[in-house]
Amino acid sequence: MTRRTCLTIGVSTLTPLPNQTLRFAYLDGAVLAARSIGDWALRSGFGADNVRIVDDGPIDGQGNPVTRERVQQAVDELFPSGAEVVEQLILAFCGHGLTDANIGSISWLFSDSLRQKYRVLADSFYTELLLHGVQRITLITDACREAPKSLDLTRLDAVRGIVVQGTQVENPRFDRLAACQDGQLGYMVSEPMSGAPGKCVFSGVIADALWGIEPTAISNGLITTATLGMCVRSRTTERAKEYRLKLNPQCLVDPEPAVLYNTAQPLPGPAGLQPWPAAGNAATMGPSPAAGPVDSAEHNLERVHSDAAFRQRMLGADFGLKQHDLTVPADQMITIPDSSKELLQDLVVLRQQSPRFPEKKQKVKALVQQLEADAAADMRKSAATEVRRRMKQIGDPGKANLIVYGEGAKLLSRAPIERLDSTSLFETFRATSDPQGMPVLVELADGTFTPVVPYAGQYAVVMPSPLGDIFQAYGMPKAPDRYLAMLGAIDDFAAGRLQAEDIDQFAAGVCHKKHADPMLGVICAYLYRAVADYDSIRRLAYFYAAQGQPVPFDIALLGAMRVTLEPDGTPQLQIPAVKARALRPKAAKAPDYIRRATPAVQAWIGGRCPWLGLGWDYVNDPRPEWAALVDGLAEHAKTVRHSGSTVLPGKVARKLAKAWRLQASAREDLTRPAVARQAPAKETNRPSQRSEQ
């Protein structure tokens, strides 16, 4: 026997820090959306024992905050010992949170998150649930990105949120319905003068669809995960436009649809499903036309870029990009892209409204935040184009296998490094490839460090971005086409364009002859993790081991695999066997290696910390099975930016270099003989790649 379960979480308000006032919007619509989805599950035959709604709606006039303890209790009640296997879990979160621009990592904030200094990493949350043997998860996440500029949400500790007993994470079917996938804002609309509660745009559309109010979600009398995804993607965008907002959700569903609702068995009327506010009065929409003349959108866009006084009056003195994890030089103007000129026009009109215009302050804030998000996205795209242009300047690397853009690079390593050449653009080195995956720390001209793992038969390029990020790419000598193809992936990653739906196209380029591209594999692992495809991450790990290459650290980190330590402290990855899988329709012509069954093997791990800044979210609160992999890293997680490759502050890098027993590598005068390279470690030290019996 199997059963269907539903867990919904609604957080309307966050408990402020001591001696501070609340600076987050009150999202009463989040509670109503969570309850609507939970009530739908109850009336759809899930059964009272299989539905739990956890929200902070008041009880008898008293507050009822959402905490990890309450959510843990709900999970324990849904999964009692000896219960039937869960065929499908509807997991919904509505409230405040963060959707990262890099590969769509999602964090949720519970009521006490600010006081307790944590955020719940959504995929770590459902990774725990998979230990209960859930066969399918349908994730609904409507996490508004709004936050005070003084609060950097990424500096809150990323945690699992719940704890489940178990050791082997299984690969489920997975549906991902997310309000934001690009670092943009989620929205709730309301009609303040009426006193009615607000309605969250994304989860409001989902609730309507589940209750059968959206006809486009019904096909042949059924609402399935497939029809729900198609409906929500289009209707959310249309609903947002009605309120002069921009919202482009991500709706990825497993190719095998699950039936959610059969209209042949009609449900009783939806309980408490709030109506949509009138578009002309909604608090977060753009304003009605103002009295008096207003310059054209083109003219206002020009003025905001050229007239400092006008710019400050329109956008405010604190218009910036801190909450988007970008570092912009002080002398560089933050520009609003042409595509956002209509939003700016709405703001100009609103600024000219009477000061008594209802909810004017809230509308202004929403428009300024959206313009800021647009500006951040545009700057990422421009910076990504520049990174790609610089990386294309690399010609034949010759004997070099480590190329650093800029001058003044210094290296920390275990083995001596041969310095080959220096130009005004690049410095080139020959570094020993360690079969056990020990990294080299590259110190850049600004005193920060980035870890690089030299791979045999490949060269690594370290490239700074104009926005302060670092990006790395790997190439193979005499294979320029492969390198250029890799730059396309780096370009998409740097610009925040990567989508999980394109994963099989990226994965198809990982392996080439006797090598697997390590950075492309890392990017693929994050995309697979976004859709809970753990078997594909483990399959990636196997192919590095099979090629005699260390498995990149992030792949080991994201694949929910056991890690052990050798007597000398070297980490070793235990890669489990995985079954063959059917490919998504778009990947019908993909190579065999991304679908085949693979055996269990052991492998060394490439690097001793995450390659990407985003990976530092996963070093906190690890499960015991892979805790050895991240030992000693959590204390440094808050110092690492989440965008681009890992960039370590000098103090942190030197502490890690000491722990990893790395030493400064002499920078020889080019007129002197170069330091001889150390012989590679003996192959007898490598873990067995034979299948475990």
Q: Looking at the chain, how many residues does it have?
A: 693
- Residue 83, token pair as written in the block: 């219960």
Residue 689 has pLDDT above 50, yes or no: no
Mean pLDDT score, 549-569: 95
From 3.40.50.2000, 3.40.50.300, 3.40.640.10, 3.40.50.1460, which CATH number describes the 2-281 domain? 3.40.50.1460
Mean pLDDT score, 663-670: 60
Residue 329 has pLDDT above 70, yes or no: no
Give dist(CA 619, CA 616) in Å, integer: 5
Percent of the chain with pLDDT over 70: 86
Mean pLDDT estimate for the chain: 84
8-state DSSP, 387: H
Percent of the chain with pLDDT over 90: 45
**Most confident listed range (177-191, 356-370, 534-548):** 534-548
Please give the sequence-ordered ranges of beta strands (E in DSSP) within 110-236, or none if there are none: 118-121, 136-144, 157-159, 173-178, 188-189, 199-200, 222-224
For 467-502, where are the alpha helices, taking DSSP H only?
480-495
Give dist(CA 369, CA 281) in Å, integer: 20
Q: How confident is the model at residue 566 (pLDDT cuts 50, 70, 90)?
A: very high
**According to the model, what pLDDT value does residue 68 have?**
96
**CB atoms near residue 311 (< 10 Å):** 18
Range in 83-92, 383-392, 461-470, 669-678 with the lowest mean pLDDT: 669-678
Mean pLDDT score, 349-365: 71
- Residue 692, token pair as written in the block: 């475990």
List phi, psi (to 5°) of 387: -60, -45
Please spell the DSSP secondary structure of 502-566, one letter per residue. GHHHHHTTSEETTEE-HHHHHHHHHHHHHTT-HHHHHHHHHHHHHTT-PEEHHHHHHTT-EEEE-
User: Which residue ranges make up each domain of the chain?
Assistant: 2-281, 297-379, 392-685
Cβ contacts of 580 within 8 Å, gap of 6 or more: 595, 596, 597
Residue 132 has pLDDT above 90, yes or no: yes
8-state DSSP, 434: P
Q: How many helices (H) and strands (E) does the chain have?
A: 16, 28
Give dist(CA 554, CA 519) in Å, integer: 10
pLDDT in tens, 30-72: 999 999 999 999 999 899 999 999 999 887 667 799 999 999 9
Give dist(CA 53, CA 642) in Å, integer: 32
**According to the model, what pLDDT value does residue 183 have?**
53
**According to the model, what pLDDT value does residue 626 have?**
94
**According to the model, what pLDDT value does residue 19 have?**
74
Mean pLDDT score, 72-88: 94
Q: How confident is the model at residue 290 (pLDDT cuts 50, 70, 90)?
A: very low
Strand, coil or helix: 121: strand
pLDDT in tens, 613-643: 999 999 998 999 999 999 999 999 999 988 8
Residue 693 has pLDDT above 60, yes or no: no
Half-sphere exposure in the Cβ direction for 43 (13 Å, CA): 17
Residue 678 has pLDDT above 60, yes or no: no
Residue 412 has pLDDT above 90, yes or no: yes
- Check residues 285 and 621 and name the one with the higher pLDDT: 621
Cβ contacts of 488 within 8 Å, gap of 6 or more: 388
**According to the model, what pLDDT value does residue 78 have?**
96
8-state DSSP, 477: T
Ramachandran assignment for 261, one of left (phi > 0), alpha (psi -120 to 50 degrees), beta (any other): beta
pLDDT in tens, 441-485: 999 988 999 999 999 989 999 999 888 889 999 988 877 877 888
**According to the model, what pLDDT value does residue 325 have?**
67
List phi, psi (to 5°) of 442: -100, 115
pLDDT in tens, 251-265: 889 989 999 988 888
Interior/surface letters 254-263, b for 16+ CB within 10 angstroms, e for the rest: beebbebbee
Residue 581 has pLDDT above 90, yes or no: no
Interior/surface letters 416-430, b for 16+ CB within 10 angstroms, e for the rest: bbbbbebeeebbbbb
Strand, coil or helix: 152: coil
**According to the model, what pLDDT value does residue 354 have?**
65
Range in 391-395, 473-477, 654-658 with the lowest mean pLDDT: 391-395
- Check residues 282 and 252 and name the one with the higher pLDDT: 252
Residue 333 has pLDDT above 80, yes or no: no
pLDDT in tens, 208-232: 999 988 999 999 999 999 999 999 9
Cβ contacts of 32 within 8 Å, gap of 6 or more: 10, 197, 199, 272, 273, 274
